[in-house]
Structure 1
């Protein structure tokens, strides 16, 4: 079925209005910022946006505008923005987890080394005590003599 020029213009106006709404972030419930939702919102068959169909140029325009927004850091689809935000958060959390695991490994190694040193020092103290107990002889050093230098007559 052929459509008149007036119907085609009316359809294009509806498509452009729906395109503007979607790109502003006014996404209908259950929809996305994509051609399927654009076709549904403008009440035009989705196949009319592909190949050499009458509204293929509007699909290209929609995709370029969407890419331009995404390139500028704006994401009109709140779900896509949330997905991007969550992916970034997951990456940061993975980095923190890796850092924490590394710190835990370093601290565990330090604790093991400290315990080994304490055990070695304890063994040395025990050995020194036993060795001191075995030697009953204590040698006293002679007391220091004080001599006075007298005058000769």
Structure 2
């Protein structure tokens, strides 16, 4: 003998279908989502009716509204595959995930650029240090008198080259 009467079950199924249609159109209650929990609350039926049950012998039996839960999930997936998102938060989550991925890409590109600039800076510092050491060596050599100074250039012997 079922726990609920046939009339009650029929009224509940009608309420579930009406709630399902509202949710899939995007008419969500405040704080609600497009899911089984909200569907059950909107229809005024216990959520446990949407899930399978276990008998005492361990065998599984379908919940009284499990077929409606499967229909709801199927219709929701079809809407999502078609590009329609009845739950605006799901669309917001998808958009934020895309934004997050784009920002991660930008950060990775900037990190690579910074690493390249650090390498270039280190190379430039090494070259400057080597040039400074060479200048110091040449100055010491000049001060020690082992190098003769060249005469200052005078006027060009044959005029300008231009």
TM-score normalised to structure 2 length: 0.72
Q: Which runs of 5+ in 1 are unaligned?
A: 141-153
Aligned to 2:115: 105
Aligned to 2:25: 24
Query: Following the alignment from structure 1 to structure 2, what is the Cα–Cα distance between the partners of residues 114 and 139?
Result: 31
Aligned to 1:45: 46
Secondary structure at 1:92's aligned position in 2? helix
Secondary structure at 2:24's aligned position in 1? helix
TM-score normalised to structure 1 length: 0.76
- Map of 1:1-150 to 2, 5 A cutoff? 1-5=3-7, 7-51=8-52, 52-133=62-143, 134-135=145-146, 137=148
Q: Which runs of 5+ in 2 are unaligned?
A: 53-61, 152-162
**What is the RMSD of the two structures over their aligned residues, measured on CA atoms?**
2.4
Q: Is the 8 A contact 2:12 2:43 kept in 1?
A: yes
Query: Following the alignment from structure 1 to structure 2, what is the Cα–Cα distance between the partners of residues 63 and 137?
Result: 93
Structure number with the bigger relative contact order (C-alpha 8 A, sep ≥ 6) is 1
> What's the CA shift string for 1:34-60, capped at 9, x where partnerless?
111111111122223233343222111
Query: Following the alignment from structure 2 to structure 1, what is the Cα–Cα distance between the partners of residues 42 and 150?
Result: 107
> What's the CA shift string for 1:5-46, capped at 9, x where partnerless?
4x5444333222211111122211121111111111111222
Query: Following the alignment from structure 1 to structure 2, what is the Cα–Cα distance between the partners of residues 116 and 139?
Result: 30
Aligned length: 139
Give the number of the structure whose alpha-carbon radius of gyration is greater: 1
TM-aligned CA distance change 1:131 to 1:65, over 3 Å:
same
